[in-house]
Amino acid sequence: MSDLAFKSNKGKKARHSERRRDRFEHFFKRHYPDLCSFVFSYVNDREVAKDIVQSVFLRVWEQKRFWDNHEDAKAYFYKSVRNEALNHKKHEQVKQKADTEVRLRVSEWKINDKTAQVNDRRVEIIQKGINDLPARCREIFNLSRYDGLTYKEIAEVLDISVKTVETQIGRALKKLRRFTKEHVKESLLILVAFFSM
């Protein structure tokens, strides 16, 4: 190929490229505002609408995808920006659902942590009440409640009557009820404090 033919071919390509850029720029200026309004009707955010329309125009420009028929180009752009807007909405819904889920989990963890603290406090009060029992009464109570022995088994282990075991358990429960009742106000204040945090 001669230099003259090469230069002529190169000049044609440059003019064609310039015409294509001018047509694209004209199309952009003519349809950009309407496409933004169209996308806005889906996403309700002007900046997001502009970003979506610009990204579609950029993608088309980079792909060097052009149409001779103006109506085909217009239909393609409307369909593309609509799809992008729907994808954006879907993504936002997923993100919102995930955010809600995270907030719910954090809230549950806080409640579970507070509940555990309240339960720990209850156990602490009951244990203190048990520790305040007379030694023999506490021993019988612990064998019953913590070791799981029956009244008969406790009587055999300690070499006492079953009636004595029953009496001591009854006294222990009565004293623990009274002890916890005295600490109920304190417990309620603790509950209120924990759940109002």
Domain boundaries, the chain: 7-90, 108-195
Higher pLDDT, 173 or 33: 33
Query: Can you spell out the DSSP letters for 57-124?
Result: HHHHHHHT---SSHHHHHHHHHHHHHHHHHHHHHHHHHHHHHHHHHHHHHHHHHHHHHHHHHHHHHHH
The domain 7-90 having CATH identifier 1.10.1740: the answer here is yes
pLDDT digit string (tens) for 103-139?
777 666 666 666 666 677 777 877 888 888 899 998 9
Predicted TM-score (pTM) of this structure: 0.48
Q: Which CATH architecture has domain 108-195?
A: Orthogonal Bundle (1.10)
Q: How confident is the model at residue 24 (pLDDT cuts 50, 70, 90)?
A: confident
